Structure 1
Amino acid sequence: MNKRLLSILLVAVFLLSIFSLNVMAEFPEKAINYIVCFNPGGESDLTARAQQKPLEEVLDTDVVIQYKIGGGGAVGWSELVQAKPDGYTVAGFNLPHIILQPLVRDNPGYDTKEIKPVFIFEATPNILAVHKDSQFETLEEFVNYAKENPGVITLGGSGSYSANHLGTLEFNQAADIKTTYIPFTGSGEAVPALLGKHVTGLMTYTTMGVRHSDEMRVLAVAAEERVPAMPDVPTFKELGYDYIEGAYRGLAAPPGTPDDVVQKLAEANLAVNEMPSFKNKLQDMGFQIINMGPEESEEFIDDRITYYEEILKEVGLL
């Protein structure tokens, strides 16, 4: 290679690096589209709406909420992995949903590892809830009836192959009962089904138990310890059932999104999570605040893939 050509190449590389630095320094230059994959009124929507203004403040740009509903979140995540990897399209993601669907469905439209985690920011344990006028006042009464009437009890929940769906199967196994799971497109749709007495109960999240405390009776929570927002509700473990399950939620970007863009988005999420007004608001609603950056989130997802593969085998789905 002659000296002239080498010089041209070096200048080109230098200019390209300067251009890239300038682009990153300016990100974001325009509005960011935030895809919510579940119905309005559910946990993903509540979180995104609570984050919207604080994120706009931190990133100094508009954050536009878009709904892409269906397939237990798969419709939105399928669109995410096909989006331009420039940081201007992101989506809320849920565990175990993004793991379970590619494991049990032939073609959900995405692979778990295609979804690039930016930040995991909150979690909600499962709860078992019934209507406030239900005949079931305790978990023991619920289980006894389910044993005497296999398959008669219907439990609504958010999505198929989700934390609510898998949680129902896990509790069925732990309690040696049979209930029928009814999937809805989000918690926001499942709750009215219970309040209208179209289902026996819900396998839903702590947030719904807090939000609708006057309309439903929560029999137990699937957490290691009692949840501060509902201190009178016992855990399944307290009542003799080895059952812990729930959802983790975070923000994701398309595959191939530059790491420095991902890092800037992650730093913005952390800044929002550390705002006392935001943190207190979510905790009062029944959310558990979590701070996992890109690398920690990726490692956590890898660990959960192994964990959920084992559970799916135990409940007969793999």
Structure 2
Amino acid sequence: MKIAHFALACTLSVTASQACAQLADYPNRPVRVVVGFAPGGAADTVARIMSDAFGKALKQPVVVENKPGAGSSIAADYVVKAAPDGYTVLIASPSSISINPALNPGLSYTAKDLKAVTKITTSPLVLAVSSKTEIKTVADLIKAAKANPDGLNYASSGNGSAPHLGAALFTLLTDTKMTHVPYRGGAPAIQSVMAGDTDLSFGTAPSVLSQVNSGKLRAIAVSTSEKSALVPNLPGMREAGLPDYNLEFWYGIFVPQNTPVPVVKKLYEAATYAMAQPEVKAALAREGTETSMSKSPEDFDKFLVEEDKFWVKLAKSASIAVK
């Protein structure tokens, strides 16, 4: 028995040593950053802007992989099921982390299946309308929506996404009705507004501003109550006539729940380095978003507790069903 115990102890010791060596060696191959929306949208833009600096900090290539659909739940489910080794990470928004798990009991994952690493960006949404409409102000939009209930169509990047919630909050506060048209990402949603297939979108700034600047879309306000320095030419909702409207949007990094703490720490440090680079900040600013890092993974966890309450309450108040 003593020999058997000694052999077991040696085996456990060897296994532990191997695990420690693997952690110390992390990462020793490329890291995948999974995005739950189509190429060209805000999440994809943020991921690609930060990827080079993120890879430089990790000393490994970073590959951005798009898995759009179901309000980014497909991507979240994919990462939840990935090996918890730090080689598959998720860039996610409130839709896949807070809203979808809370409102869709049919999902194969919950928010607890993902471990928070850090918030990386924050920005207002941009209320943009088709240039084919006569809508030029928020007051015009309210008037048009009241005159034709459910006659206006708004595009979003999916059920439960921030653009969906942005429009839902608008209809709640203005007592109007509009028809929701979900797409598989911000880029196709905005393309539908440009084509005139839909009338408007509360789009994420990176997916909207270049089209606004080229004259293909008409932006009429940002979703924060006050003006944003990121989009200084647009009024905030208070100035536009809706003082109770205030919505800000973020992206964060997540990994499978059982990812070792040392790996999470390395990812946090690499993200902190990447988002501090002047070229990354400048590129994000051009897209109407800014870096916004958590003080630590634990700090991001605390932030998410309050965020969950806000987004889920809004989704339930607007009677949003996520399927």
In structure 2, stretches of 5+ residues that fail to align are none
Match of 1:286 in 2: 288
Q: What whole-Å deviation, never above 9, does each CA across 1:182-229 have from its counterpart, x for those lacking one?
A: 111111101111111101111212223321122211111111432223
Structure 1 178/129 Cα, relative in aligned 2: closer, same or farther at 3 Å?
same
- 1:76-115 equivalences under 5 Å are 76-115=75-114
CA distance in 2 between partners of 1:317 and 1:161 (Å) = 7
| C-alpha displacement of 1:120 | 1.1
| C-alpha displacement of 1:24 | 1.6
CA distance in 2 between partners of 1:124 and 1:109 (Å) = 30
Structure 1 106/21 Cα, relative in aligned 2: closer, same or farther at 3 Å?
closer
C-alpha contact 1:35 1:76 (8 A) present in aligned 2: yes
Match of 2:300 in 1: 297
CA distance in 2 between partners of 1:164 and 1:299 (Å) = 24
| C-alpha displacement of 1:232 | 1.7
The TM-score with structure 1 as length reference comes to 0.93
Match of 2:235 in 1: 234
C-alpha contact 1:75 1:109 (8 A) present in aligned 2: no
Match of 1:252 in 2: 254
Paired residue type of 1:277: E
CA distance in 2 between partners of 1:308 and 1:138 (Å) = 26
Match of 1:74 in 2: 73
CA distance in 2 between partners of 1:313 and 1:49 (Å) = 33
- SS of 1:152's partner is coil
Aligned residues: CA RMSD: 2.0
CA distance in 1 between partners of 2:49 and 2:208 (Å) = 18
Match of 1:262 in 2: 264
C-alpha contact 1:165 1:181 (8 A) present in aligned 2: yes
C-alpha contact 1:52 1:63 (8 A) present in aligned 2: yes
CA distance in 1 between partners of 2:147 and 2:132 (Å) = 21
In structure 1, stretches of 5+ residues that fail to align are none
CA distance in 2 between partners of 1:227 and 1:277 (Å) = 21
| C-alpha displacement of 1:16 | 4.6
C-alpha contact 2:41 2:185 (8 A) present in aligned 1: yes
After TM superposition, the structure 1 stretch with the greater mean CA deviation from structure 2, 269-278 or 238-247, is: 238-247
| C-alpha displacement of 1:9 | 6.5
C-alpha contact 1:163 1:245 (8 A) present in aligned 2: no
CA distance in 1 between partners of 2:225 and 2:7 (Å) = 62
| C-alpha displacement of 1:135 | 0.3
- SS of 1:300's partner is helix
The TM-score with structure 2 as length reference comes to 0.91
CA distance in 2 between partners of 1:212 and 1:54 (Å) = 27
Paired residue type of 2:70: G
Paired residue type of 1:167: G
Paired residue type of 1:237: R
Q: What whole-Å deviation, never above 9, does each CA across 1:21-41 have from its counterpart, x for those lacking one?
A: 322221001111221111000
C-alpha contact 1:205 1:246 (8 A) present in aligned 2: no
CA distance in 1 between partners of 2:121 and 2:293 (Å) = 8
Match of 1:41 in 2: 40
Paired residue type of 1:303: E
| C-alpha displacement of 1:235 | 0.9
After TM superposition, the structure 1 stretch with the greater mean CA deviation from structure 2, 207-216 or 271-280, is: 207-216
- SS of 1:238's partner is helix
Match of 1:168 in 2: 167
Q: What whole-Å deviation, never above 9, does each CA across 1:34-90 have from its counterpart, x for those lacking one?
A: 211110000111111112211221111121222212111111111111111111111
CA distance in 1 between partners of 2:130 and 2:182 (Å) = 18
C-alpha contact 1:81 1:255 (8 A) present in aligned 2: yes
- 1:122-137 equivalences under 5 Å are 122-137=121-136
- SS of 1:237's partner is helix
Match of 2:60 in 1: 61
Match of 1:314 in 2: 317
Structure 1 192/309 Cα, relative in aligned 2: closer, same or farther at 3 Å?
closer
Q: What whole-Å deviation, never above 9, does each CA across 1:107-128 have from its counterpart, x for those lacking one?
A: 1232112111112101232221
After TM superposition, the structure 1 stretch with the greater mean CA deviation from structure 2, 288-297 or 267-276, is: 288-297
